[in-house]
Amino acid sequence: MTDQNLKILVIGSGGREHTIAKECARSPRVDQVMVTPGNGGINREFVSFTVGVEDNQGIVKLAQDQKIDLVVVGPEVPLCNGLVDALNEQGILAYGPDAAGARLEGSKAYTKDFLAKYSIPTAAYGNFSEVSPALQYLQTCQLPVVVKASGLAAGKGVLICESMEEAQAAVEDMLSGESFGESGKEVVIEEFLDGEEASLHLICSGESYVAMPMSQDHKKVGEGDTGLNTGGMGAYAPTSLVTPEMLSKYEEEIVRPTLAGLKAEGVNFRGTLYIGLMLTETGAKVLEFNVRFGDPETQVILPLLADDLVELLLQSARGERMPDKVAFKNESAMVVVLASKGYPGSYPKGEIITEAPDSIDNAVLIHAGTQEKDGQVVTAGGRVLGAVGIGNTLVEAKEKAYKMAEAVNFESKYFRSDIGHREFSRS
């Protein structure tokens, strides 16, 4: 395979995948970017297919038929289902961890035990698959307490319980399989950590890695970080919350021990390692690991990369050493998520989107929960679009993102008007 005229296949259908496809298409090495299954916006911009993310065999066949040089796997489900293993077995290069590496996201119980084994800072915890010992352990916990479904729950399997009754009900609901099915058949009960959250994304190849700009996500649906948890209502990067000195400390205490621990466990980790950090008074602690780019964080970190993303993805996928230094733009980025009112509960679908231009004045519209119907793009998910602004300062990025957010319409459009509020309160 030469590194020119590459054909890339992106797997997924959200805002993360739309961003990855756009960034890959900018590489001078790339001839064509294809996506499966895509969404209403992706399918207008890139050649798209209808193979679902859980169809390993279908994706392998598609990659073979289209003579794909690199498959970039966006979401966590196919990674945990061993899609990279299936592709590699057929000699197809793929970006993302194998099933062994994906356990870091697929099982919160496994991750907590891993963190404890390698002395990586995290909240005190207990793992349980039976109700009685779980309820006994709860009695030893201080309130509030966190109850997590161990398996994949699309970002919704984490409950912060203010009362003992609430915590007991959460444990019983999960372990009975009622609230999260198989994902909740094992639960993690965890100490509640106070502080600010920040996301660290790494592109890894074994123990070598490249750190992306630190970002901050807004999980709560309501203004001022109130209401229910969502998959993310907006994000910005970089954040002044983390200084270069703090980052090198996190690399020393968290990143390197994690990658060395994986190696010791026989896992050659390649792909994205996303470390969710809680910055507490006693230092940074790991909240969670994800094994793919975050959504919506991808929409703000990838556009800040000055170097060729495809080159980094190729080096990681091949297991080559990652470069010691990568260039980033001296700019800021913000994404405002346009959701359907009612999300993360029930919400309407099928509303026609009257679109602004795909880009206006350094702002881009990223599609997430959209589909094409009768020649029009309509809403098809809770998080519908992402309005991304890029500027020399975060204030400039914010102005551009919100200008784009206002320029797009669908009947139940809802977005938070305070993305980045913690950052602005610090300045």
Classify residue 166: in a domain, yes or no. yes
What's the average model confidence in pLDDT over 401-411? Answer: 95
pLDDT at residue 88 is higher than 80: yes
| Torsional sign, CA 197, 201, 207, 208 | negative
Give the model's confidence band at 3: pLDDT under 50 very low, under 70 low, under 90 confident, else very high: confident
Model confidence at 248, pLDDT cuts 50, 70, 90, reads very high
pLDDT band at 360 (very low <50, low <70, confident <90, very high): confident
| Shared domain check, 231 and 181 | no
Residue 424: phi and psi, rounded to 5, are: -70, -30
Task: Give the mean pLDDT of the chain.
Answer: 93
Query: What was the pLDDT predicted at 393?
Result: 96
Q: Which whole-number Å values give the CA distances from 406 to 49, 300, 372, 385, in the listed order? A: 31, 19, 22, 12
- Cα–Cα dist 110/100, whole Å: 11
Establish if 111 belongs to a structural domain.
no
Domains contained in the chain, number? 4
> Each residue of 271-294: pLDDT tens digit?
999 999 999 999 999 999 999 999
Q: What is the pTM (predicted TM-score) of this model?
A: 0.94
Q: 340 and 301 in one domain? A: no
Band the pLDDT of 180: cuts 50, 70, 90: low
- pLDDT score, position 200: 96
- Does the pLDDT at position 359 exceed 90? no
The answer on pLDDT for 63 being more than 60 is: yes
Average pLDDT of span 85-106: 97
CATH of the domain at 60: 3.40.50.20
Distance of CA 306 to the CA centre of its chain: 21
> Considering the domain boundaries, does residue 381 fall inside one?
yes
Per the domain annotation, does 326 fall within a domain? Answer: no
Q: Quick one: pLDDT band at residue 243, thresholds 50, 70, 90? A: very high
- pLDDT tops 90 at residue 185: no
Residue 40's domain comprises 7-98
- pLDDT band per the 50, 70, 90 thresholds, residue 129: confident
Residue 218 has pLDDT above 90, yes or no: yes
- Which of the four pLDDT bands, split at 50, 70 and 90, describes residue 154? low
The two structure tokens encoding residue 210? 């490249």
80 and 143 within one domain: no
pLDDT tens, residue by residue, 308-337 = 999 999 999 999 999 999 999 999 999 999
Strand boundaries in 80-157, DSSP class E: 94-95, 125-128, 145-149
Does residue 202 share a domain with residue 181? no
* CATH for 240: 3.30.470.20
Residues 340 and 418 in one domain: yes
CATH of the domain at 136: 3.30.1490.20
Beta strands in 58-144 (DSSP E): 70-73, 94-95, 125-128
3-class DSSP assignment, residue 237: strand
The predicted pLDDT at position 119 comes to: 96
Contact 215, 138 (CB under 8 A): no
Lowest mean pLDDT among 4-18, 162-176, 333-347, 353-367: 353-367
Confidence of residue 101 (pLDDT cuts 50, 70, 90): very high
Residue 367 lies in a domain: yes
Question: What are 144's strand-pairing partners?
Answer: none
Shared domain check, 307 and 221: yes
Is the preceding peptide bond at 37 cis, omega within 30 degrees of 0? yes
107-136 mean pLDDT: 92
Q: Do 239 and 281 lie in a common domain?
A: yes
Residue where the block lists tokens 């057929």? 90
**Confidence check: pLDDT of 183 > 80:** no
Q: Are 262 and 103 in contact (CB under 8 A)?
A: no
Task: Examine the domain organization and report whether 310 and 363 are in the same domain.
Answer: no
In the structure, what pLDDT confidence band is assigned to residue 13 with cuts at 50, 70 and 90? Answer: very high
pLDDT of residue 1: 46
- Sequence-distant (6+) residues with CB within 8 A of 79 are 73, 96, 97, 99, 102, 105, 271, 291, 292
Whether residue 254 sits in one domain with residue 206: yes
